[in-house]
Structure 1
Amino acid sequence: MEKVENFNKKLSHWFTLVVILWAVFNFFFPQTSTWVIPNTSYLLGLILFGMGLTLKTEDFVRISKRPIPVILGTVAHYVIMPGLAWLLCLIFHLKGATAAGVILVGSCPSGTSSSVMAFLSGGDVALDVSIEVLSTLLAPLMLPLLLSLLAGQYIAVPAVSLFLSTLRIVVVPIVLGVLIHTLLGKRINAVIKLMPLISQIAILLIIGAVVSANHANIFTTATALVIPVVMLHNLCGYGLGFGFSKLLGLQEAQQKAITFEVGMQDSSLGATLAMKYFVPQAAIPSTIFSIWHNISGSILSSWWKSHSKS
């Protein structure tokens, strides 16, 4: 177990680089991950099951004891990121599946990497995790609603199917994980220690599948603007999230948590739903976001830690 934990630490440290190298490898050798394409929803369920396993009843008690920052952070996430995605599509004249993919990743709940970045920056990790949990549990409602409102002009949105699928892929695994943790307690500590490694491998497999399915369309005229749009989306999300928390007069640690929670998306969910309900091209923004927000988050957390007032 110690060797596995050490390997997980090394993978976590170099995860951004590994993601980039794996994406490049699958671009040149797309047949490597074609078998994963029909199984991405199961992999995402595994990731979220692992998230559920790490949660305790105390986590939900914490939300109920100080709900205002959690609610405000969640509202900020679901207002700022979808709104930014829609606005960027208008500014850059994105159309069709590409525009829908940008709005899809913008409508996803907070990314699991945000809690890592909050920890590294000296932020309020408890607040970060609370917002992450609440935004994820709201995803079955928010995703179909936001996509119908903002992306309906670009692509047909199967709202009911999307709701049911997101409920099954997102909420059920989390609830199952919480129940198992509640029932078995410390007896599953060994499994919990393994879940971060399993989750990172699952994320890599999903990224490989999306790149494999889109290798012929990633660098085309139709998708040329996706990279700068995704970068702007993420960076503006950080900026507006920070400005929002600053305006509320929150403490520095809370500002850091909300900044990461607003700006970082569950891009694995975006890629999975795009592959399942739209066309492979709609998954490209989520894939690029997955790579980019790990880079930007690492840079911001390092800078913030070294320039922290506390």
Structure 2
Amino acid sequence: MDDSAKIYLGIALMIVMMGMGLSLKLEDFKRVVKFPKAVVIGLVNQLIFLPLIAFGLIYLLGIRNTLAVGMILIAACPGGPTSNLISHLCKGDTALSVTLTAFSSVLTLFTIPVILEWSLIHYMGNDETSIILNRFEIFKDLFLITIVPISAGMLVKHFKPEWADRLQSKVKIASALVLFILIVGLTIKEKHNIIPYFSEVGIGTFSLNIITLSLGFITARMLSLSSKQAISISIESGIQNGTLAIALAIGLLKNNDFAIPGAVYSLIMFITSFIIIGFLNTKKFRQPTDN
């Protein structure tokens, strides 16, 4: 990828992340005091269980090195920019979903460098870690392309809420378009390998998505959270920021193979999301209460 393409990719990702910021307020972070157990359960599912499940699937399915790194990368990323909308459409606890998105976006700033460095050493060997320089470089890049635009979006939301409300729908469309363009571009670039790649990581990414969605709901219900909270935790666990994963793989790590699992996972998670939305909105499952 040439320098101009990297710049465009970075700008596109910053727009996506700013869109997330437009829906966030400081109150979303303070809400952890209101339901700390739900937030902790959600974050444990997303930040701990998700990478561990990815690691287990890689081992069980024998996914090869470069694609294994990509699997870990998508598992390490925070919730996707559409997770709040999907949670709302699934009749979940939207406030909890927003809070989990806010916290995971900040916390993964610290967890991604560690997990990514470990995965490169574990799957690629010590020689390959030179491509990521060091943890500080990853932290710096993540800060610039995630925290800065999210903060900018939050500032707009705080000082000009009417602007934020008008921009949100447009940015959400732009976010989906950016992800679509990335997937199409990656498919074209890897057109000779895309079918073998998909056959190799398709089962793994599908399993990762289904297991994390299910585990998020089950753990929440087992620990006495409401069905609405369980739905939101499930969605936040299974809907990942595929745009960030692909951008990091192509822009920072400079390896298209690392981006393949993120692209495949993104396609799968939207398919499963539409199925869940339809399922939970059938007459049988429409529930007026939070139970």
C-alpha contact 2:16 2:81 (8 A) present in aligned 1: no
Match of 1:76 among 45, 52, 66: 45
Match of 2:143 among 167, 188, 198: 167
Q: Which runs of 5+ in 1 are unaligned?
A: 1-34
1:283 matched residue in structure 2: 259
Deviation at 1:119, TM superposition (A): 1.4
1:125 aligns with 2:102: no
Q: Secondary structure at the match of 1:58?
A: helix
The amino acid of 2:171's aligned partner reads: M
- Report 1:1-310 matches (<5 A): 39-155=8-124, 156-157=128-129, 158=132, 159-220=135-196, 224-276=199-251, 277-306=253-282, 307-308=284-285, 310=287
String of CA shifts for 1:214-273, please: whole Å, max 9, x gaps: 2232123x6531111111110011121112111111111111111111112111111110
Change in Cα spacing, 1:223 to 1:206, as seen in structure 2 (3 Å) is closer
The amino acid of 2:144's aligned partner reads: R
C-alpha contact 1:37 1:209 (8 A) present in aligned 2: no
Q: Secondary structure at the match of 1:122?
A: coil
Residues matched between the structures, number: 275
TM-score, with structure 1 as normaliser = 0.82
String of CA shifts for 1:27-65, please: whole Å, max 9, x gaps: xxxxxxxx8565222211101111112222332332343
String of CA shifts for 1:93-139, please: whole Å, max 9, x gaps: 11221110111111111122322221122111111111111111112
Report the Cα distance in structure 2 between the residues aligned to 1:251 and 1:225, rounded to whole angstroms: 37
The 10-residue stretch of structure 1 (183-192 or 117-126) with the greater mean CA deviation from structure 2: 183-192
Query: How much identity, in percent, do the aligned residues show?
Result: 25
Deviation at 1:195, TM superposition (A): 1.9
Report the Cα distance in structure 1 between the residues aligned to 2:225 and 2:120, rounded to whole angstroms: 33
Change in Cα spacing, 1:227 to 1:187, as seen in structure 2 (3 Å) is closer
Q: Which runs of 5+ in 2 are unaligned?
A: none
String of CA shifts for 1:258-304, please: whole Å, max 9, x gaps: 11111121111111101021410110110111111000111022212
C-alpha contact 2:80 2:239 (8 A) present in aligned 1: yes
C-alpha contact 2:71 2:262 (8 A) present in aligned 1: yes
1:11 matched residue in structure 2: none
Report the Cα distance in structure 2 between the residues aligned to 1:75 and 1:102, rounded to whole angstroms: 18
The amino acid of 1:153's aligned partner reads: H
String of CA shifts for 1:179-206, please: whole Å, max 9, x gaps: 1222233245433342222222222222
C-alpha contact 1:140 1:163 (8 A) present in aligned 2: yes
C-alpha contact 2:72 2:116 (8 A) present in aligned 1: yes
TM-score, with structure 2 as normaliser = 0.87
RMSD: 2.0
The amino acid of 1:54's aligned partner reads: S
C-alpha contact 2:17 2:146 (8 A) present in aligned 1: yes
